[in-house]
Every structure is written in structure tokens, then in C-alpha cells.
Amino acid sequence: MNVIDLTHTIKEKMPVFPGTNPPKLIPTSSYENDGFKETLLQIYTHTGTHMDPPAHIFADKMTLDQFPVSQFIGKALVIDCRNLKEGEEISMSCIRKYGKKAEQADFLLFHLGWDKRWGTDDYFGDYPCLDETVLDYIISGNYKGIGFDVIGLDPVNDVNLIRHKKLFENSQIVNIENLKNLELCGSDLFWFSCFPLKLENCDGSPVRAVAWFE
């Protein structure tokens, strides 16, 4: 079995969404003093490779802990969008080239190649985002989730979160941001999992996103 980690490591000095603080890993016990190591973790729920549920935007929508655990595992397909320039939109032409495979997937993972900019100011640049036709296609489909190797479903400076609102108002789906290594997944369907922490009334959570091939 070939397993690929699609997750950025959580650490104190890491990229975070503008306006939030990076995580803190505070030692509370040590091998020398206590015979074991333990760490207090202070972290925003939307840090690193993480997942949004509809409750991230709407108070009356589903939280992550309300989804069945089956929501977080299934067949995925990487949609290669690396040919797009900064500021361009992801259109249906990116999806159509995969034919029926796009309809058979539980997760569509959009590969912009932006993870190579992780840790630089360029990561917060004008990355391509879904156009309205693709959003409508996803909403009308039977997908468990979508994912990206950029920091947001919306442009980083869109305070109105237009795409988040449209997606979550009209579908019970999860959105995964800050993926990595999508170029290693090929152009066929593969197994994918992205399990969040099971936090009460959860508006988001870091995930360990993994691809595997039998």
C-alpha cells in the first residue's frame, strides 16, 4: 500500500490566515521533572491543513461533530489547475478533462501548486478560485467534500466570503484548505481520508489528510 501525507505540520512558526495568531505549543511536563512529556496546545480551529463545515459560516448549519464519520473518507480525484495564472478562475474546463471520474469521486481536490509557496509571502497572493459555474456543479453533485492547496476557498482579501456562503448555504459538505503534495496523487481516483478532531459544536478543525493506493 502506498500512503501519501497531504498535511502540513503544525508548529509555532507557520503560515496562518491574516488576523489570527500562530499556534503555541507550551511544555507543561518534561521527562526530567515528571517522567513524561505533555504539551498545552493553543490553536485556532482553522489552522494549517483544516476543514470547514457549514457551521463555520451559518449558526443554524451542521457542525463537524454532527457529520457521520463516513463523511471524512472516500474516493478522491485531484483536479490539476496548475496551468492557471494568478487571478484566473477555476472553470468547468478543468473538471471536464477528467470525464466520468469527476462524477464518481466523493472529494474533488483542486491542485494549484500553491503549497510550494508555503512559508513565503507569496502563499497569500492572488491564487485562482472557483468560478460560479464550478460552485453550482459541486452544489448540485453528491460530494462529501472539496479541497485546495491554498489558504482559502475565497480570495484571501474577500471579507464577505462569497464562495463559502454560497457553498454552505446550499449543501451539506466540508471544505478542506491548505493541502499539500497533491501532485503525487496522479490523475485517477484514489482513497482519501481527512478526519477532524471531534470537538463539540465544532466550526472547524485541523485534519490529517491522507491519500492511499492499494
| pLDDT, mean of each 10-residue run, the chain (214 residues) | 97 95 98 98 98 97 98 98 97 97 98 98 97 98 97 96 97 98 98 98 98 94
Distance of alpha carbon 107 from alpha carbon 78, whole angstroms = 9
Residue 129 confidence (pLDDT): 98
Distance of alpha carbon 10 from alpha carbon 49, whole angstroms = 8
Residue 158 confidence (pLDDT): 95
Contact 12, 25 (CB under 8 A): yes
Distance of alpha carbon 96 from alpha carbon 99, whole angstroms = 5
Residue 104 confidence (pLDDT): 98
DSSP character for 142? T
Given CA atoms 193, 204, 19, 136 in this order, what sign does their dihedral have?
Answer: positive
Residue 38 confidence (pLDDT): 98
Task: Give 90's strand partners.
Answer: 130
Residue 197 confidence (pLDDT): 97
Residue 214 confidence (pLDDT): 86
Distance of alpha carbon 82 from alpha carbon 52, whole angstroms = 24
Residue 24 confidence (pLDDT): 98
